[in-house]
Amino acid sequence: MNAKDRYDAGLKVRREVLGADYVDSSIKNADAFMTHFQKFTTENCWGTVWTRPGLSRRDRSLLNLAMLSALGKPDELKLHVKGALTNGLTRDEIAEVFLQVGVYCGVPACLESFKVGKAVFAELDAKK
């Protein structure tokens, strides 16, 4: 696949997982500086890795939740909690990921992740 094909494939997957409104807004609102990042992440993260056949989107979401929790990245975690729900994870499964993080990465990481999850669920429930 060439760079354009990777970008196009990545954009498709990124929209499906994170939501077209979010993705399109991120790209549209990127200034000249941030456009580099939008292209990079769409092509490489989403177009190269997320399109690979080795793991399901559900499995990739499980990994992302654990890694973002362990790294203490709450803004990205919020986005990927929503994506994990889109990819078929339940709230209980997300809680299990965060508990696993607590055992291996520490209670502060676990607590922060639960706070993020709670906020995402409240936001989604308010829209119902």
What pLDDT is recorded for position 1?
Answer: 80
Q: What is the DSSP letter of 41?
A: I
Contacting residues for 6 by C-beta, under 8 A, at least 6 apart: 43, 44, 47, 48, 51
What's the pTM?
0.92
pLDDT tops 90 at residue 121: yes
At the fourth CATH level, the homologous superfamily of domain 57-126 is AhpD-like (1.20.1290.10)
Grouping H, G, I as helix, E, B as strand and the rest as coil, residue 89 is coil
User: What is the model's pLDDT at position 40?
Assistant: 98
Q: Per-domain residue ranges for the chain?
A: 3-49, 57-126
Query: Residue 128's pLDDT is what?
Result: 84
b or e along 24-49 (b: 16 or more beta carbons within 10 Å of the residue's beta carbon)?
eebeeeeeeeeeeebeeebbeebbbe
Q: What is the pLDDT of residues 2-32, one digit of tens each?
A: 999 999 999 999 999 999 999 999 999 999 9
